[in-house]
Amino acid sequence: MGVVSQLGKLPLPPGGKKMLEAAKLENVAVLARESKETARSAGSLRAAEAPTPKTPMKCIFSVDVEDWFHILDLPKAPQIGDWDTLPSRVEQNFMRLLELFDAHQTRVTCFFLGWIGRRLPHLVREAARCGHEIASHGYAHRLVYQISPEDFYRDALDSRKILEDIAGVPIWGYRSAGFSVTYNTDWFFDKLIEAGYVYDSSIFPASRGHGGMVGGPRTPYWIQRASGRLFEFPVSVVDVLGKPLCFFGGGYLRLSPYFVIRTMAKRVLRDSRPVIFYVHPREIDINHPRLPMNRRRRFKSYVNLRSTLPKMTRLLKEFPLTSFEQFIRKDIQGAPTRDEVVEGLLRIVPLSDSPPTTASSRAI
């Protein structure tokens, strides 16, 4: 059964029928656009597909720690100068998530905005105390393709240093705002290496509102540059009717019925890839304030918020979920050093199994 027809089985909010129709139309438009893009880059994509890793794959769970007003690319979204004046809801939501993870004895990766770390440092410390990995979501939540390489570097470096100071442990992982790395921002990987990161999870190998790299690599792989190396964990996608779709985070996870998420997750695992799940604290908060936006974005941003916690609970019961750090480090005790993280990543994918240049640079 197709994804679009599955959507018809979801419980809809008031006015949801019209919004669902809009989403279906948008799905068709997205599929048509993807089809053109995929055909255009087909030659380079075959070469870009990363090799199959050697280790058994688990599922990785991540939280992008930001507040309800950190929704991207809205004309009326509050600017960073106003964020301090807005009522924060991230604390109550994030603490609820920590309780849920604790109840299931699961450690996850928390990609904190540096801005959140500076405003609410106790959240970073509490997550670290509970054994979760602290990683960086940048400082100011800016779309990669809208800023200069130099501004991006400063933002990525600042957030890493702020979070390291608060958590008292080194930060190795990065995720961009809105998975906004694209084929036109190839400098992104160089700047992350220069800013001291070891791994990244920002490639979204499917079409999306903010960037995305349709046809990009799906399997974890090394990006090798003159300035060093970076390990990439692309967000998980599954082909449906020949098109890559994500069922594992954000609006995709909220829209999809649980049995579809479970089935698709098993397909990713059968393909020897880790499933990478992601949520935002606001997604478990059905009463958080709404930002003004058009009907289509409203549907994407707020549909099925009440389904997030029940789906997470089932995932925590049914899948072996862990953090990026635990996935990488295996049996290392205490905070791993850079060398230990690199060694762990090399066990997952040897350098000899990675392409000599990045998939993104080859596909440009």
- Contact set with Zn ion (CB under 5 A): 64, 66, 177
Strand pairing class (275-279; 59-65): parallel
d(CA 188, CA 175): 11
Q: What's 216's DSSP letter? A: -
| Residue (252 or 319) nearer to Zn ion, CB | 252
CB of 114 to Zn ion, least distance (A): 12
Cβ pair 347, 25 in contact under 8 A: no
The smaller minimum CB distance to Zn ion, of residues 218 and 282, is found at 282
Cα 253–Cα 257–Cα 263 angle in degrees, nearest 5: 85
Q: State the nearest-atom distance from the C-beta of 245 to Zn ion, in Å.
A: 20
Please state the closest distance from residue 59 (CB atom) to Zn ion, in A: 20
Phi, psi of 229 (to 5 degrees): -130, 150
Q: 249: which DSSP letter?
A: B
Closest approach, Cβ 347 to Zn ion, in A, equals 30
Closest-approach residue to Zn ion (CB): 64
Nearer CB in complex with Zn ion: 177/359? 177
Nearer to Zn ion, 156 or 177 (CB): 177
CB of 192 to Zn ion, least distance (A): 16
Least distance (Å) between residue 178 CB and Zn ion: 6
Q: Which is nearer to Zn ion, 182 or 354 (CB)?
A: 182
Question: Are the C-beta atoms of residues 71 and 291 closer than 8 Å to each other?
Answer: yes
Q: Which is nearer to Zn ion, 177 or 235 (CB)?
A: 177
Looking at 92-190, which runs of residues are DSSP E strands? 109-112, 133-136, 173-174
Contacts of 356 (CB under 8 A, 6+ apart): 224
Beta strands in 86-136, from DSSP E residues, in sequence order? 109-112, 133-136
